[in-house]
Amino acid sequence: MKTKISVLVLLFIAISTIGIYFLINSSKPISQQTVESIVKSQPEVKNLLNSGDSFVKAEKRGNDWVVQVASVQSYGKDKNIPPHSTTFNWYKLDQRGKILCSMFIYDNQGKFIGSGETEKSCI
């Protein structure tokens, strides 16, 4: 009888330990690099990054991440306009990496569909 109770106690401790391990690890926030990688994997962002001088920049805001995808516009030496960035899209991700919203909506092939959230509600 004592052996059965000891086995049950050990089993309970093992299961509890495993549960606590997964609870702790599932609640770890993701890094800036991971957030940027998630956004870079979106078809429309891949298309932009392949087409020229562009960047993806994530910033932590509260519990969420706000990510700007932009391209650098350069007009060459002929024009007296300094290079500047032009925003392509904004994304908001939660601390687990789920995209909550974006300003503009694209399909699975990266084709523009329309506007999504307003800037204030998305970022």
Q: Where are the domains of the chain?
A: 1-28, 31-122
Mean pLDDT to the nearest integer, 11-29 = 58
Question: What pLDDT does residue 31 have?
Answer: 96
Question: What pLDDT does residue 24 have?
Answer: 47
Q: Count CA within 13 A, CB hemisphere, residue 39.
A: 29
- Give the pairing type, strands 54-61 and 104-106: unpaired
For 95, which DSSP code?
T
8 or 114, greater pLDDT = 114
Taking the whole predicted model, whether its pTM rises above 0.85 is answered as: no
Joined together, the tokens standing for residue 34 give 């991971």
Answer whether residue 111 shows pLDDT above 90: no
